[in-house]
Amino acid sequence: MNILLLCNKSPYPPSEGGPMAMNSIITGLIGKGHKVKVMAFNSDKYSVNPDSIPSKYKEDTRIEFVDIVLKVNPTDAFKNLFTGESYHVQRFVSEEFSSRLVEVLKKEEFDIVQLEMVYMAPYIDIIRKHSRAEIVLRAHNLEHQIWERIAKKTRFFAKRWYINHLARTLKSYELSVINKVDGIAAITNRDASFFRRVTSKPVIDVPFGVDIDMFEYNNKVKKIPDFYHIGSMNWMPNEEAVKWLLDNVWDKVVEREPEAKLYLAGRNMPQWLVKTDKHNVFVVGEVEDSHKFVSEHDVAVVPLLSGGGMRIKIIESMALGKTVISTMVGAEGIQYKEFENIIIADNADQMIEAMCRIMQDRDNAERIGANARRLIEDVYDNDKIINRLVIFYHELLSNKEITTLN
């Protein structure tokens, strides 16, 4: 098959959740012998130097970029209040991207055009006009749900009102878009169930998968286990989660376990965090090799209070044999068994207790890490996941042929 992927950001380097999810599909499809082309936005929010991308990756993906500015424009945001359109989505409308997409579709025939996230849906009409390809929406999250959850946690009335407005318009757009595509590939079974309730379109859950051979298994825990969090801090739920952890949990952990240490990694660390004076909190910032960073530490802490989809960093930590302590929101979409391959702590008291207890029980940490690795091998092997996605593609194409004959 010949597959075109439209991406809201570059899939390379795969250094944070969205790009990692895109890249796993791209490399998996190429590995199965399919022809792939990638068109992606290169923005001020997630900027990539095209010259830094390996030549082999460029050759395999034929990747090309269109520059875009995603910084919030206060005037446009205010005007948007009176349009009923989703400001989140409108920021991704680009004449340059539209023009280049038309050129690509006229030059080449594709079997599948996959929209990576709902933000690429404004280009559906162009695809329909210039291509006979089946259109698949790959839903990384229920985007509106993320903003609904953020709104609930926002105390300032005016800000909460505006975030609720963003959530309402985004939800309206998401619900309208799903009936314009030919199929939906959700990243979690939970999200797939939502889509099945609101549309008759074919739906499949395609989780994030890993090449298990790329993850060197090591569940050995240091004599005094340490904690880590890794995630991009320009994603609001991550910043919210780390702030909650430091404000409500960490001091009490240190009171009980003075040798406890917490390492924070990720791009775009906010100044308030860089300047933190919390005891034994080490702000590492962006790391060159996330696998190396995770391997050097013991227990992942993922205290998400909002967000959606699947936390890819949890999957990677599990693949490396690490124990993960997470809220239910953080672990959403993962087929876990509590206390077997993950620890769930849904409030401050539970998080404090879980972190202190795991420091005193290295054997349990190693046991949970070993079980986590087995879960990834059984369920999240990318080779198996790509096979399911390709079958889904073929079913869409077969249904199209049957419809055409009728």
Q: Is 86 exposed, middle or buried (0-12, 13-18, 19+ CB in 10 A)?
A: buried
How far apart are alpha carbons 237 and 243 in whole angstroms? 10
**Omega of the bond leading into 270 within 30 degrees of 0 (cis):** no
Nearest to 63 by CA among 45, 76, 51, 75: 51
How far apart are alpha carbons 300 and 354 in whole angstroms? 12
How far apart are alpha carbons 199 and 258 in whole angstroms? 53
pTM over 0.85: no
| Cross-strand pairs, 5 | 38, 114
How far apart are alpha carbons 155 and 364 in whole angstroms? 39
| Residue 339 falls in which region: left (phi positive, over 0), alpha (psi -120 to 50) or beta | left
- Are 332 and 308 within 8 A, CB to CB? yes
Kindly list the structural domains of the chain, giving each domain's residue range(s) and its CATH number in brackets, ordered by start.
2-209+382-405 (3.40.50.2000), 213-379 (3.40.50.2000)
Please list the pLDDT of the chain residue by residue as tens digits (406 residues). Answer: 999 999 999 999 987 888 989 999 999 999 999 999 999 999 998 899 999 999 999 999 999 999 999 887 787 777 777 787 888 888 999 999 999 999 999 999 999 999 999 999 999 999 999 999 999 999 987 777 777 878 787 888 878 887 888 888 888 888 999 999 999 999 888 889 999 999 999 999 998 888 988 898 888 999 999 999 999 898 888 999 999 999 999 999 999 999 999 999 998 999 999 999 999 999 999 998 999 999 999 999 999 988 665 688 899 999 999 999 999 999 988 989 999 999 999 999 999 999 999 999 999 999 999 999 999 999 999 999 999 999 999 999 998 766 655 5
- Are 96 and 71 within 8 A, CB to CB? no
Query: By three-state DSSP, how is residue 115 classified?
Result: strand
- Are 264 and 229 within 8 A, CB to CB? yes
